[in-house]
């Protein structure tokens, strides 16, 4: 780790501390995640869920793991660096994101997620803190809880941060599916409009009440296999009606409201997949707008009042499977009302709980330093000059065991065959251009 200089701490997660660091050989800025538990065998490291999933997942909207270093029984992940996470980005905003900005973020998240699900993984802890942002690029991070689709239930119920946790997890269903990620996407999409979490439960039970407060109670027959039957009976009998989502998220278009409604369906089977979401009218709005011949601002001024926008959609995203791609809808969107929304002040730690999934019961010693490069040596990115006064050596992080580091290099090709194959294939051309520039 001598080649890395810490610049500052970026985050203190459940599993590790994350630092911004400078690679002294390439002058590349990176993010270094130093795992909190000790590691004694290389096999333990490469069998971690985060490593196993990231080795397989190579996508522009999934954070890239560049290297793994094991030194003095400590494990370091070297990631590509991103400016901030989506939670920080929302917290700092003085005004809501425009729908265009939200569309850009969601498109990328869904492309990353579609890739993940297609390759047999689901994330299980999607939340704004785990979506990393640099300008208008967003990437899915923290695959520490990612699970292979092929792995067999029962799954643990302590999965995902409470506010983004799907009802089937709250009801302790033991066989949940990638639809739990889609629920989280719906909650994040709603939050991007209002800058406040849509279901801010204070406990697991309160979380279910908060969901009922918006969606109304569920039909209990949706969840045949839940372990927490009393919770289900309790909420199924609640005497509350669903609210009009447009009243809760007044700045969202009808398309956005429809997508949120579908993603935040009680029934996991009714939630669209990431791939299906990408076909939703929300992502096709711009393509079919009938443009007025005059400047809309001038029109508004001359007519003296707000006018509805007429949008002609050649896509109707119905609830039946066959409806997904068919139909002709004439949607009339009222002009967005004036907004008076403010973010709620929250600390990252108060936003629910993560889960420490590792146990540290391994015995033995290894004083070796193992270095695993996941990108070829010539895959360097922009050099960023740094003032030396800002730097402190990475070795200043206290090591509890001493040892003489020896490094072992692993060639990329043998370990991560797909990492550089077609990095831009899954992106739309506009995003490809932006990413390449």
11 or 250: CB nearest ligand ATP: 11
333 phi and psi, to 5 degrees? -100, 125
15 or 212: CB nearest ligand ATP: 15
316 or 356: CB nearest ligand ATP: 356
Considering the complex, what minimum distance in angstroms separates the CB of residue 318 from ligand ATP? 36
31 or 257: CB nearest ligand ATP: 31
The full DSSP string for 288-314 is: GB---SS-HHHHHHHH-S--PEEEEES
Q: Which residue is nearest to ligand ATP (CB)?
A: 13
63 or 169: CB nearest ligand ATP: 63
* 197's tokens: 């979490």
> Which of these is catalytic: 125, 142, 157, 258?
125
Q: Nearest to residue 189, comparing CAs of 262, 118, 244?
A: 262
Q: How many CB atoms lie within 10 A of CB 55?
A: 18
Query: How buried is residue 259: exposed, middle or buried, by Cβ count under 10 Å (0-12/13-18/19+)?
Result: buried
Cβ contact 49:357 at 8 Å: yes
Cβ contact 364:41 at 8 Å: yes
Considering the complex, what minimum distance in angstroms separates the CB of residue 277 from ligand ATP? 24
The length of the chain is 437
Q: What is the DSSP letter of 52?
A: H
Considering the complex, what minimum distance in angstroms separates the CB of residue 407 from ligand ATP? 22
Strand stretches in 259-365, DSSP E: 309-313, 329-333
Cβ contact 109:412 at 8 Å: no
Cβ contact 277:302 at 8 Å: no
The binding site for ligand ATP (CB under 6 A) comprises 10-11, 13-16, 18, 31, 33, 63, 79-82, 85, 129-130, 132, 141-142, 144, 354
291 or 349: CB nearest ligand ATP: 349
Rounded to an integer, what distance in angstroms lies between the CA atom of residue 211 and that of residue 162?
A: 12
* 340 assigned to active site: no
Cβ contact 359:39 at 8 Å: no
Considering the complex, what minimum distance in angstroms separates the CB of residue 22 from ligand ATP? 13
Considering the complex, what minimum distance in angstroms separates the CB of residue 346 from ligand ATP? 14
Note the Cα 110 to chain centre separation in Å. Answer: 9
Considering the complex, what minimum distance in angstroms separates the CB of residue 298 from ligand ATP? 44
Strand partners for 71:
74
Which residues are catalytic, by number?
A: 125
């Amino acid at each position: 780790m001598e080649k890395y200089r810490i610049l500052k701490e970026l985050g203190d997660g459940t599993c590790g501390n994350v630092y911004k660091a400078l690679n002294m050989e390439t002058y590349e800025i990176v993010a270094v995640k130093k795992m909190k538990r000790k590691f004694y065998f290389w096999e333990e490291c490469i069998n971690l869920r985060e490593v196993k999933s990231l080795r397989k997942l190579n996508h522009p909207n999934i954070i890239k793991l560049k290297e793994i270093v094991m030194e003095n029984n400590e494990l370091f992940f070297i990631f590509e660096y991103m400016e901030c996470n989506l939670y920080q980005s929302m917290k700092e905003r003085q005004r809501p994101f425009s729908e265009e900005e939200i569309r850009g973020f969601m498109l990328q998240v869904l492309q990353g997620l579609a890739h993940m699900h297609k390759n047999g993984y689901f994330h299980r802890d999607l939340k704004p803190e785990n979506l990393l942002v640099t300008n208008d690029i967003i990437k899915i991070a923290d695959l520490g809880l990612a699970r292979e689709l092929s792995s067999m239930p029962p799954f643990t119920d302590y999965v995902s941060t409470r506010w983004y946790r799907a009802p089937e997890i709250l009801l302790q269903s033991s066989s949940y599916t990638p639809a739990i990620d889609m629920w989280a996407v719906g909650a994040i999409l709603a939050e991007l409009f209002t800058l406040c979490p849509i279901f801010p439960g204070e406990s697991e039970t309160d979380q279910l009440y908060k969901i009922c407060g918006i969606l109304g109670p569920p039909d209990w027959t949706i969840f045949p296999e839940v372990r927490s039957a009393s919770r289900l009976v309790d909420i199924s009998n609640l005497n509350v009606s669903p609210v009009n989502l447009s009243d809760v998220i007044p700045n969202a278009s009808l398309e956005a409201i429809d997508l949120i409604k579908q993603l935040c369906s009680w029934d996991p089977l009714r939630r669209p997949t990431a791939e299906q979401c990408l076909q939703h009218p929300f992502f096709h709005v711009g393509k079919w707008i009938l443009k007025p011949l005059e400047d809309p601002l001038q029109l508004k001024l001359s007519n003296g009042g707000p006018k509805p926008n007429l949008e002609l959609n050649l896509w109707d995203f119905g609830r039946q499977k066959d409806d997904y791609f068919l139909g002709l809808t004439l949607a009339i969107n009222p002009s967005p009302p004036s907004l008076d929304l403010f973010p709620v002040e929250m600390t990252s730690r108060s936003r629910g709980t993560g889960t420490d999934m590792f146990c540290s019961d391994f015995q033995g010693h290894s004083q070796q330093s193992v270095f695993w490069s996941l990108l070829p040596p010539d895959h360097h990115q922009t050099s960023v000059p740094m003032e030396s006064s800002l730097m402190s050596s990475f070795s200043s992080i206290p090591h509890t065991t001493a040892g003489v580091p020896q490094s072992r290099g692993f060639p990329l090709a043998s370990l991560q065959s797909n990492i550089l194959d077609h990095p831009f294939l899954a992106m739309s051309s506009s995003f490809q251009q932006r990413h390449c520039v």
